[in-house]
Structure 1
Amino acid sequence: MKVLVIEDEDELRNVIVSSLEKENFLVESAADYTAALDKVTGYQYDCILLDIMLPGGNGLSVLNALKKMKKQENVIIISAKNSVDDKVNGLNLGADDYLAKPFHLSELTARVKSVIRRKSMNGQNVIELNNVKIHVDDRLLYVNSEPVSLHRKEFDILAYFIANKNRLINKAALAEHIWGDHIDQADDFEFIYSQIKNLRKKLKDTGAQLEIQAVYGVGYKLIVP
């Protein structure tokens, strides 16, 4: 799962990024309004942590831009300004949650996981598809009640496919979502082929009743019989 941290305080931003990375999130960051707008315009995220007061602009303007672009990212406002007006304006513009500074990192992580589950996983932490069970927060996969070992990226790919089951996933969108915006520097998608090949083999070898189908020249689709 991919998170964008928009926060101008260097120390706080670095602490948040480090904390979320320890929870196996792919994390990107922006320190000012211009960088934040560039990120949300060019890329997609599972959750955006958004400070209101930013150098060069206002976080609510970023939120308004997301709304105009009709993007569906989960947004949690994090701000030292704990006024009712800020909270109401943010929620009216489409924010999913509001957390006032100072806050505990454990609470922030819990809020991030909660909004992602609500929108991407229908509020569920444990998802069952036929004989396959995935524990989202614990990053565990079971097939026929037996644990299946997955590498970090393999789990991220499977979770992304499950959140978008029966939908065609473009290779570029998958790469950017799992590996981040630095994927622009890659020459090809060979690393994706390798990861998906390994994941498909593990699903087949364990008898999983779901299949990742390749759509030639376009991408992949998770099929659930």
Structure 2
Amino acid sequence: MIRAALSIACALALPVQGQAQDFRGLLPGMPASELAVLGEPFDFQSQQGTVTARYPLPYERHMTVLYENGRIQSLGLGYGGIGTTLHPPATQGLRVGVTTLREAVALAGSEGFTFDDPNGLRVIGDVPIGWFLYYELQDHPDLLLELSFQDRSLATARADSDTGPTPLPRDALLVSATLYHDEFTTRHPDVHGSTPMDRPGAVPFALPLSEAFPLTVLP
């Protein structure tokens, strides 16, 4: 009974537009003061005017927020990573830690685009760290959606970009979904890359944000 009352209270505390989307009604470009709906962060770092904070979400997930000059610049949904067991309720949208790359592409309507590397495989040195797909959002033209995937065994991934495009690992898991404001991507081209590269059939993201990331609440 107490849990039910708390769940109702938390839902009522969210902004109206957040009732149907898992970024808790927040969007990049909003004032940082709107982050009050998330409560207290469990991790907080500030460097040269850029603040990065992480907030807990239901079902072993978290939201990473970056803001500058009093405005939210990016919001990211993540979880503990490969090996973490999640049991969120079934939804029709994308779920970090659950949705495969194959399922995500089907929902998105295409493989989107990447930056600089046609494989979409990002590496540090010779170590692969995952595949990245990017999409424009029809309902939010000032935002960029980044979907990050990891194979269950990146040790077998091909990190040599000279070999040309390789098939995307369809069973790789979605490990993060991040929204960036175009102000941020313009000021920080080094974060993603400088040259967008469309994949065959690339189109803007097929779903409204509220359908792609429906709000997840505790039962």
TM-score bracket, shorter-length normalisation: under 0.3
Larger radius of gyration: 1
Q: Under a length normalisation based on structure 2, what TM-score does the superposition of the two structures give?
A: 0.25
The structure where strand makes up a greater share of residues is 2
Q: Under a length normalisation based on structure 1, what TM-score does the superposition of the two structures give?
A: 0.25
The structure where helix makes up a greater share of residues is 1
Indicate the structure whose relative CO is greater, using CA pairs within 8 Å and at least 6 residues apart: 2
